[in-house]
Structure 1
Amino acid sequence: MTSDLHHAQPSHPVTRRAVLAGSVGAAALGAGMGAPALAGGPPDARAVHWKRGHVFPMVSATGKIVVADVRELDGFDRLLLISLQGLVNRDRPEIYLILDPVDETWIPDLPVRATRVEDPFSLLETYRDRVAGAVVYDIDSPHTINLATTIAGLRGGIVANAEQVQAHGLSVLEDLTGRFEDDPAAVHDWAMSTLWPECTREVLVGLPPTHTVTVEGITWTELLREEDRVTDSSNLDPYTVDLSGSLGADAIFLRLSDAFPQDGWGPAVHAVEVTADGAVIASFVPGTDEETPFLFDGSGSSTKEGLRFADGGGSFIYRVEVPSGTSAVSAAIEVENQFVISATDQAPTRVEPFASFRDFSVATGALVSWLPPSGASGSQFEDLLEQVDPGTVYAGWFSNDVSGEWSGVELCSRAGVIVVAADYYANASVLSAIRASTRATPSARSTAAPENRTYLTLTIGEGDNIQYCQRHMRELWDDPGRGAVPMNWTVSPLLEDIGPALLHHFQTSATENDLLVCGPSGAGYTYGDSWPEDELAVFTQLSGQYQKRTGLDVVYAYSTPVPGGAPPVLPDWVLESYAEDVELRGIIQTDESGEISDPGAAVPLIGTFYPPGGVEEFRSELLARIQEHDGDGPLFLAGLINAWNWTPSDVVALVQGLPEDVEVLLADEFFDLFAQTA
């Protein structure tokens, strides 16, 4: 998220009856906009139900799982089987799918009996009697994948394409082929008028219909690289590169990536002009209509004020068709900061359905949408948010990376809707059913007096992101450096509902140098200062309940980002709401320079110190900050660690290189001392 590279790659106060299934008639589907509401109701027995004070559903407990490995399957087949998983698990949770190695890693830690099947497609035969039929999407109108997912959840079907229907002998429940133009706005309007009346109001799901997948074996030729660490745009200039060596059959692919992915200051492109034998064949400014025909893959980038940028592991690719017989091609690229320019003559990615997390939407009967929160679709997104009560969850993610995150979370916060980053979270429909204790008690408060020295607490971010907790956090947790020095680990208390065995593992395997703290900004990701003031208690009360049950008494919180400026300090009324409803030692707030320091606030508040770069850059800036301190009284610094580019072993290297008068503490003891300086 934002500068924390959250997505380098986000509840109801009153229980309402969730409509988890319905019936969509073929006539209604064919009627187009304004078709009548769906008819029908839920079956007699369901494993999924909603409970007061919980933002995700309770799922009936299971003691066994059937495991299938789908790592070798493409997105089309994954979509088929993940929709089957959701359909089966909503009645009797048991299917667990391995999408990547970390899903395999978790199996020994799950308190269930696991049975494996060799052929994942055998699940279709095993559970064929559960399937009412296939809902067929139209890949030429990609947003019908979200329509098909929603309909499958309402009608008891699975999601398939025409080829899969034939290959697996599936009956057709509904066929969306050719019914919709490739017009996302019109598809969404139809979904709202036709499907929304029968969808659950307890949760909204936001998933991209498709995503790009890297093609193996592609060779990139590096053409130009910024050798220095430049983060201030001082190298902005047009750079000319020769593309003649990448001439293919008909097109050249041009990639911009980050020369120093550790610090989040990758390439920012202002203009591109490509010439073939002296004639201009492409000329555009990023983010404009002129760029669209040439943007082959922008999924790892964002646009802002006439530029396109990509940080960390992100990149973006342009495709330029070259006239037959061309002998010389060059590109003039106006770019700044830490860039790498590469080219190839082969298509480096392909488009597939985005399959992850769809088991959850099928199991819950949720509407699946994909509405970029800015631009024309922003008003549709706002209208959707107005359909649900404050405290409802929007689970999934947003388009356009950082800027989409900022605008999306802000719109949700204004509507009182809580964001949970969940688009790559796997097996939600069965992990919710695997019981494990998540009760925990915070440590006793310390009464020790602070000394005249530097106190440092180091927090690994991203913990509100439940797919991070499931995937990358587990990889970091297994790093041999963990436990050697004090580290705070942000985690989502919502795992109590949607992955209790995962949270239990972190709780029970933590060392005395590991402290779990609550990720932004409590019971889900939100900007408290963007909430309606008279509704924020909905969020803080939910946070208080979750954090008390899971023993999290430090929270890492965000305020509404200001593009190009420092995040505002959380206002008094937000801090007072936390103080009223959440038992907190303190709040760590996003603030890259670490300027915020208010031990006497309603809840002790401190900003994050977050210098870009690796261990040496962090240590250098940290020591400079300590040097600036006049030494009159203790200095408290809350360092933020980039979860995507650091490991616990890196944190150990950082701490071992600090002076003896710097004491590194866990956040609970840190705030106990910090509060005494008020």
Structure 2
Amino acid sequence: PWPLPTTLLVAEADADDPHWVTTLAALQGLVNRKAPKGQMVWLDLLDCRFPPCSPHGQWLEYYRQKTPIQVTRVSSERLLQIAREEAGINYYIVFDPETARGKNIDAGRTCTINIACTVSGLVGNAIPVHPDDVSRLRQLGYQLLPDSFLTKLGAGAAVLRRPDAFDLREQWTSAHSDSPWKTRQDAYEWAINSLLPLTGREAVALVHDLEARPTEAPGHNFEPWLYDYSVGAGYFHFFFEPSPTPANPLNLTPYDRLLFAQLLQKRGPLTMVRGWHGDEGDYIRLLSEKRCFNGGMAWMPNLSVHGALSPYFQLDKRPRPSSPPLEAKIYLTFTFTDGDQAGVLYRNFWGSNGGGSLWADPVRGKFPINWTLNALLFEAARGIVRYFFDEASPNDTFVADLPAGYAWFDEKRFGDSLPAYLEMANCYLGATGLRVADFTCPMEGFIPIADSTLTSRLRYLTHADAIREGYGGGGGYQGVYWPEGYPLVPYIRTMFLAGGGGYGGETVSVEQIARQIEEWTHAPTGAVARPLFVHLTWVNWFTSPSDMAKCLELLEHAHPGEYKLVTMDQFVSLTKEAKQRGLFPISFRPRPNGQSWEEAPYLWEDHGSKTNTRDDPPPIWRKTTGGYGQNFVTYKFNVYPSRRARVKVEISGSDFNMDASPDNKTWTGRVIRGSGDRQSLSADVSRWVNPNGCFYVRFTGETVIWGAQVEYGAKPRKRDGKRFNPRTNTN
């Protein structure tokens, strides 16, 4: 926790001088963790590299108006004097700015920036500095950190060369043969073994070395302002490449990934990594494998101040908007991505290829949009969350993105650490009042519905009205699963990553998005049940609210009156109502290559079935072969609160069979059986609906499944004379 300040000392800093910003940001963190005389430092960065120009002035004025904080502008020289006089910061640590020739940064020395910042946070009275800026500090009375402070670095300090050990240029073998570091990785390995055990356990900080800059991603460049929070909090600092091969823009060796893994392993499960790496897939995979997660605090200056001022703000739960009457329509809900990164919110929902603020789009507020927020911002920047809550129109809804930090939070990777994470996330959901929790699915696709991860999420996230999984996909239209034990809590599968230009290598136009929605919701093989519920994700980097408006116009022109855009709260409420009234469509057609988006909410177990290789045009089917019971495919359906259910199937084969079970253990053989060409058959399976409203059907034998539909009623079910509680009862 940061002290509560009464005064902000505002100093300008030119972001185009990253070395000096490194010095000032580390100073900021050390001053702010003490807040001498109630004073904290705010850096007013002169930074227009990321349009729109960084809105430091906007947030400073916001805090001035909303809190009793006083603002005093000072020069950087005066700030350095105040730090000496009132915070006891008298020393400096010299980092080595020498870069490597070419792209092989293993031979470079800029890793010492991160090492110097780690040492700065440990000793608390010294700041990192570029050799060219030493004279600026010496003129103000600063001195090189004396060797006597090596005792604060533990036993590992014994290998450092003396005298002047804190001039890190002296620690390379190229400077002295008896120095400990030959390569960048030598230096980081020493830091992991010597400094990591001494640093704060909450998190570690990934900050790109100056030369470790992927040329294709300016937003992922060296961000020296991040040292504010991380130095002040006493974190370990590093930059490692997570790719498992050396085939990356920096030509790093696989040993770099091993050091990254070693760091996470030593720090332990549920370590938060603050900062961002441009290689998202390998980065998140490695964090997930080590049961760690990204904290989502990239691109965010002055984070220590945002955290310190958070207690001035309260977050009241936003009222649920009233839902429209349930009709035979296609209900859509639209969500923007990437609100998990604090810097996106800091720049007023930064997006549209870095070109502007989505929040400032003139059409915002004219129709429903869901905006993603990192629930961790309750502590990290509650004032910013409150700003968006206050400025939101009735059509703006907020959901918890990923939902509190970013990783693949499943039992396969997190194991027995998953409940602890979910309990933490649930606390933040309750504190922020966010009612829908988003998770991203692993690279291999949606988590199967038989995976206990799903029920774990529902069991622990008691503040969530619904859970959403997935970042994108394609095809199909029905993406809601009703888990047993939680039969009225929709588990929403994301149907589409709209506007995915840049991720898939091609630009997706608004016209293409509208056509895709039409294809999903108007099946070429016949009528699609209504009402229908479709959630779509829109990528903030490539789309805007104006694009959404154009898409809606195209859909309305093509199908007047058929589509209804609603907020996420309304979407959840309407799906629940449809389920309770027996109107929520439960039907699917199998698709090739395993699960389809239609089939995924129901496919429980696949034991040797096959799908055809054609998708467009139909036919499409799933097939089992062999004798009865040899190969099979099992589906699970939830019809709560109905007392009855009937399964209708399109089926064919030389010996087709459908069995039914209330528990996937006790099977009643051959509820449907026969042979012949494609035909429509049905069976009443009400006797196999278990007390939680669920039942299973299994297809086996020589069977081809073309499609299935469940008809069900909506009468309330009671259990042991009491109303069934979906939050506490499981089968």
Where on the TM-score scale, by shorter chain, does this alignment land: which range? 0.5 to 0.7
Q: What SS is found at the alignment partner of 2:533?
A: strand
Give the distance between the partners of 1:619 and 1:473, measured in 2 at CA.
24
* Post-superposition CA distance 1:42-97 (Å, at most 9, x none): xxxxxxxxxxxxxxxx2122233122222465111111111111111010161111
> What is aligned with 1:204?
204
Among 419, 436, 445, which residue is 1:537 paired with? 419
What's the CA shift string for 1:474-522, capped at 9, x where partnerless? Answer: 63223322111100000011111111111111112111000010111x2
Q: Say if 1:209 and 1:353, in contact at 8 Å, map to a contact too.
A: yes
Query: CA separation in 2, counterparts of 1:114 and 1:471?
Result: 23
Q: CA deviation at 1:116?
A: 4.4
> Which is worse superposed, 660-669 or 571-580?
571-580
Write the letter of the residue equivalent to 1:361: S
Q: Which runs of 5 or more residues in structure 1 are unaligned? A: 1-57, 213-296, 302-312, 316-351
Larger Rg: 2
Are 2:89 and 1:131 equivalent residues in the alignment? yes
Q: Deviations over 1:303-355 (max 9, x none)?
A: xxxxxxxxxx899xxxxxxxxxxxxxxxxxxxxxxxxxxxxxxxxxxxx9641
Residue 129 of structure 2 is aligned with which of 145, 157, 160?
Answer: 160
Please state if 1:488 is matched with 2:441: no
Say what the alpha-carbon RMSD is for the aligned residues.
Answer: 2.5
SS of the residue aligned with 2:20? helix
Distance 2:121 2:382 in 1: 24
Paired-residue identity, %: 24
Shift of residue 119 of structure 1? 3.0
Q: Aligned pair 1:575/2:454, yes or no?
A: yes
Distance in structure 2 (CA, Å) of the matches to 1:97 and 1:504: 22
CA deviation after TM superposition for structure 1 residue 406, in Å? 1.9
1:83-98 paired onto structure 2 within 5 Å: 83-92=26-35, 94-98=40-44
Which of 229, 233, 239 is 1:364 aligned to?
A: 233
Of the three residues 96, 117, 130, the one matched with 2:73 is 117
Gaps of 5+ in 2: 48-53, 99-108, 146-165, 173-180, 245-253, 351-356, 501-507, 585-638, 640-731
Q: Does 1:65 align with 2:8?
A: yes
Contact 1:608-1:639 at 8 Å conserved across structures: yes
**Per the alignment, in what secondary structure is the counterpart of residue 241 of structure 2?**
coil
Write the letter of the residue equivalent to 2:238: S
Task: Measure, in 1, the Cα distance between the counterparts of 2:75 and 2:26.
Answer: 17
Output the amino acid matched with 1:370.
F
**Aligned-partner Cα distance in 2 for 1:448–1:121:** 60
The 3-state SS of whatever aligns with 1:164 is helix
- Check whether the contact 1:454–1:626 (CA below 8 A) recurs between aligned residues: yes
Deviations 1:405-430, CA, capped at 9 Å, x for gaps: 22222222233222113232111111
The CA distance in 1 between the partners of 2:15 and 2:482, in whole Å, is 55
The reply on whether 1:547 has 2:399 as its aligned counterpart is no
Q: Deviations over 1:80-131 (max 9, x none)?
A: 1111111110101611112243111212221343424263343112222331
Equivalent position of 2:189 in the other structure: 189
Equivalence for 1:622: 517
Q: Which residue of 1 aligns with 2:308?
A: 433
Q: Is the 8 Å Cα contact of residues 438 and 549 (structure 1) preserved in structure 2?
A: no
CA contact (8 A) 2:22 2:129 kept: yes
Who is 1:516 aligned against?
398
Does the 8 Å CA contact 1:483/1:513 hold for their aligned counterparts? yes
Q: Give the match's secondary structure for 2:335.
A: strand
Tell me how many residue pairs correspond in the alignment: 482
Letter in 2 for 1:135: I
How far apart in 1 are the matches of 2:450 and 2:25?
43
Structure 2 CA distance for partners of 1:570 and 1:66, relative to 1, 3 Å? farther
* 1:567 Cα offset (Å): 4.8
Distance in 2 between residues matched to 1:72 and 1:90, nearest whole Å:
23
> Residue in 2 aligned with 1:452?
328
**2:539 maps to which residue?**
642
Taking the aligned partners of 2:23 and 2:315, their CA distance within structure 1 comes to 36
Q: Distance in 2 between the 1:570 and 1:387 partners?
A: 33
Query: 1:665 pairs with 539, 563, 566, which one?
Result: 566
Provide the C-alpha distance between the structure 1 equivalents of 2:406 and 2:229, rounded to a whole number of angstroms: 19
- Counterpart in 2 of 1:609? 496
1:389 Cα deviation from its structure 2 partner: 4.1
For the 8 Å contact 2:365–2:395, the answer to whether it is kept is: yes
Q: Is the 8 A contact 2:296 2:374 kept in 1?
A: no
After superposition, the Cα gap between the structure-2 partners of 1:72 and 1:543, relative to the gap in structure 1 and judged at 3 Å, is closer
Partners of 1:182 and 1:558 lie apart in 2 by 41
Distance in 2 between residues matched to 1:90 and 1:669, nearest whole Å: 43
How far the C-alpha of 1:176 sits from its partner, in A, is 0.2
Q: 2:57 aligns with which of 90, 104, 108?
A: 104
Task: Give CA deviations for 1:12-69 in whole Å, capped at 9, x if unaligned.
Answer: xxxxxxxxxxxxxxxxxxxxxxxxxxxxxxxxxxxxxxxxxxxxxx212223312222
User: Can you list the C-alpha shifts for 1:248-291, whole angstroms capped at 9, x where unaligned?
Assistant: xxxxxxxxxxxxxxxxxxxxxxxxxxxxxxxxxxxxxxxxxxxx
Separation (CA, whole Å) in 2 of partners of 1:314 and 1:470: 14
SS for the counterpart of 2:522 is: helix
Question: Residue type of the partner of 2:255?
Answer: A
- Runs of 4+ off more than 6 Å: 445-449
- How far apart are the structure 1 equivalents of 2:186 and 2:57? 40
Distance 1:437 1:117, change over 3 A: closer
Distance in 1, matches of 2:260 and 2:202, equals 16
Deviation at 1:179, TM superposition (A): 1.3
Structure 2 residue aligned with 1:179 = 171
Q: CA deviation at 1:378?
A: 2.0
Aligned match of 1:592: 473
Given that 2:9 and 2:73 are in contact with CA atoms closer than 8 Å, whether structure 1 keeps it comes out as: yes
Task: Please list, as runs of the form range in 1=range in 2, the aligned pairs for 1:4-43 lying within 5 A after superposition.
Answer: none
Cα distance change of structure 1 residues 478 and 82 upon mapping to structure 2, 3 Å threshold = same
Aligned-partner Cα distance in 2 for 1:158–1:524? 29
Which of 291, 295, 304 aligns to 1:416? It is 291
1:379 corresponds to which of 242, 247, 258 = 258
5 Å-filtered alignment, 1:241-280, equals: none
Deviations 1:415-449 (A, max 9, x none): 32221132321111111111333433254597876
Aligned counterparts of 2:450 and 2:433: Cα–Cα separation in 1: 25
Matched to 1:186, the amino acid is D
Structure 1 residues 430 and 314: alpha-carbon distance in aligned structure 2, compared to 1, 3 A threshold: closer
Aligned to 2:644: none
Shift of 1:456: 0.5
Q: SS state of the match for residue 57, structure 2?
A: helix
Secondary structure at 1:433's aligned position in 2? helix
User: How big is the shift at 1:190?
Assistant: 0.5
Tell me the distance in 2 between the aligned counterparts of 1:107 and 1:614.
38
- Structure 1's 484 and 143: CA in aligned 2 closer, same or farther, altered over 3 A? same
How far did 1:150 drift?
0.2
Q: Which position in structure 2 is the counterpart of 1:319?
A: none
Match of 1:528 in 2: 409
2:342 to 439, 447, 466: 466
What SS is found at the alignment partner of 1:532?
helix
